[in-house]
Amino acid sequence: MTKVYLDSDATLSTLEGRTIAVIGYGSQGSAQAQNMRDSGLRVIVGLRPGGNSWQRAKKDGFEVYPISKAAEMGDVILLLIPDMVQPMVYKEAVEPNLDDGKTLDFAHGFNVHFKQITPPENVDVIMVAPKGPGLRVRETYLEGFGVPALIAVHQDYTGKAKETALSIAKALGCTRAGVLETTFKDETESDLIGEQTVLVGGLMELIKCGFDVLVEAGYPPELAYFEACNEAKLIMDLIYKSGLIGMLRAVSDTAKYGGLTVGPRVIDERVKENMRKVVKEVQSGKFAEEWIKEHKSGEKRLRELMEMTDSLEIERVGRTIRRMAGIEK
């Protein structure tokens, strides 16, 4: 089994006396900056003057600077802005301030792995990727715990890159939950494959298909919504808490038998074959190339797909039901 790093495997001393510059104050930036500060470290925030985040970071009590100033002041620089924005901001404001021996930290390996950002040789390049949205990173920290995280070292100039990554993970609360070491390549590829085949892509399509088939068969859309979407959360909660077998033990025997015998007929070998193609497209860089191109040309296709999804019947019915049930205000 891969080694799991816990609180006792990490020390904050590598970061004491160093200034940590968090660039970006969104989901990860705001959570990570606050956790590290509450862990006793010196944290400053780098943002665009006049941007929405500026006031929020100020209100949360941070010293806020324009990005290049923060990068200049920071010994450890956390690049926590959207992945597609990172290369430009890096080039303009961060790279010119990467003095010898500084640390550049990412929360996702995309830009380094796909060579959109190539840092100079005389800095450490690391990743600390919490396995959870920023909100959870903050919430769990305040509860005295943390979310698990992945760490990786892309470049170890000082000989202390891994120690620094573990220190950051500790300051975020992640070593309380457990930290695994990986590589930029594995984190990036598995993250993309996971979100495309299972999490964002796979789940959404499964729910849509289930809903459509029920409606097509003449069942009321409201009922189809409950079956294909609403209850998916309850099932996932059970799996999250106690595994597949825990979920199976919690549902009725009819559901157990039907699920176990029919499930593999629905999600069959062809689905796996499709997923294997996705794996290849991610590994070859084909997907990254396509997405970077889409971003650079203004994300027209993404906008269209978002609008199309927003106008689906499952969305219309879903909004009504969620409001009725007090799930959505």
| Residue 26 vs 120, nearer CB to ligand NAD | 26
Establish whether 113 is a catalytic residue. no
Rounded Cα gap, residues 137 and 31, in angstroms: 6
Nearer to ligand NAD, 29 or 210 (CB): 29
Q: Which positions from 83 to 102 touch ligand NAD by CB under 6 A, shown as an x/- string?
A: x-x---x-------------
Which 175-194 positions form the footprint of Mg ion (CB under 5 A)?
191
Q: Is 48 in the site for ligand NAD (CB under 6 A)?
A: yes
**Using CB under 5 A, which residues numbered 258 to 297 contact Mg ion?**
none
3 state SS of 125:
strand
Does 193 bind ligand NAD (CB under 6 A)? Our answer is: no
Q: How far apart are CA 175 and CA 151, in angstroms?
A: 11
Half-sphere exposure of 208 (CA within 13 A, CB side): 13
Question: Which one, of 191, 109, 103, lies nearest residue 151 by Cα?
Answer: 109
Q: How far is CA 223 from the centre of its chain?
A: 32
Q: Among Mg ion, ligand NAD, none, what binds residue 195 when CB lies within 5 to 8 Å by partner kind?
A: Mg ion
The DSSP code for 62 is -
Considering only 70, 80, 117, 174, the residue that binds ligand NAD (CB under 6 A) is 80
Query: Which residues have a Cβ under 8 Å from the Cβ of 282 and sit 6 or more positions away?
Result: 189, 192, 193, 196, 288
Q: Does 46 bind ligand NAD (CB under 6 A)?
A: no
> With CB cut-offs between 5 and 8 Å by kind, which of Mg ion, ligand NAD, none does residue 53 bind?
ligand NAD
CA–CA dist 320, 329 (Å, integer) = 10
Binding site for ligand NAD (CB under 6 A): 24-29, 47-48, 51, 53, 80-83, 85, 89, 107-108, 129-130, 133-134
